[in-house]
Amino acid sequence: MSNLVLELSKEEILLLRGTLKADRGKLPPGMIFRSKYQGVTISIYNSGKGMFQGANNDKVAEQLIGRSTSASSTKSTSKQSQSTTIKYNNFNCIGSDEAGSGDYFGPLTVCACYVSKENIAVLKTLGVDDSKKITDTKIVELAEQLVTFLPHSLLVLDNPKYNERKALNWSQVKMKAVLHNECIKNVLQKIDADTLDYIVIDQFTPRPTYERYALGDVPLKNKTCYETKGESKSLAIAAASIISRYAFVKHMDALSKQYNTTILKGAGPKIDVAAAKLIAKHGIDVVDNITKKDFKNRDKALKLVNERYNRK
């Protein structure tokens, strides 16, 4: 399916909403309006961007908003995608990445995402990039758009399950291998696998270790590649990175609301102090339920709590 993304003015948004019949179904997060006109699906997002999906989308857009779309938009075509210098962006790819693996608080989230070469230009127009370079606010905005049109699978390993696996002597590498593999298999069920050129995994371990740790069969090994700093080499990985980070950020926001304090990301000294405060207030069992117990932050936080009470 051909996609066209436009930056819309407030007047153009009002015009579209006043002209088109709104879809009465439940809208995904981040989307404020959706309609179908002459075979083209039109979606408008909180960001002010509009996506036109379907054949002749440029003509429909010009008809509805009364201006040329060629200078202010990017239409997905194979010719445009072939101009990219990143080789994976010339092909139909599944990319996979994770978030939360280096954070004491919060879950481990993994996403695999299919990006066709026709959608490369769309992702560039939306501003898809390495999630580590994007603010959390932008992560949420982008992810809520990406999930509306990219086939994907998102798995969240919460802290109790993470800690259970650790108690069974699973390494974090094994957890990630299992989650990546399951996400990829899930996405393969959502697409025509014959059109797939590559599976690109943001590398966290060598291929033999990944294949040994992944439970069950590793699909399409001959099409699977492992790339360090994969977000800069494949927009499929970048999109997966954004969606997995989105899930992690939303989980952390929920924890902050639940405990009426900002739950910090990372694993540095500030985390030790924050964890110590939570332990003193709620107890170690509660904190263990929202953290990765194998991190050194746990012992450091307990030491801070003990030192505080010993001074009294």
Q: Residues forming the annotated binding site?
A: 97-98, 202
Residues of each annotated binding site for a divalent metal cation: 97-98, 202
Angstrom distances, CA of residue 36 to CA of 9, 22, 43: 20, 8, 9
Burial of 135 (0-12, 13-18, 19+ CB in 10 A): exposed
* Residues in CB range of 220: below 8 A, 6 or more apart: 188, 193, 196, 199
Q: How far apart are CA 153 and CA 94, in angstroms?
A: 11
Q: How far apart are CA 6 and CA 87, in angstroms?
A: 26
Q: How far apart are CA 203 and CA 210, in angstroms?
A: 9
DSSP-derived pairing of the beta strands 108-115 and 152-157: antiparallel
Which residue in the block uniquely carries the two structure tokens 């407030």?
10
Q: How far apart are CA 96 and CA 239, in angstroms?
A: 9
Q: Which two tokens stand for residue 82?
A: 């072939």
SS3 call for 38: coil
Q: Which long-range contacts (CB under 8 A, 24 or more apart) does 260-268 make?
A: 263/105, 263/106, 263/290, 264/105, 265/103, 265/105, 265/106, 266/102, 266/103, 266/104, 267/102, 267/103, 267/104, 267/295, 267/296, 267/297
Q: How far apart are CA 196 and CA 147, in angstroms?
A: 19
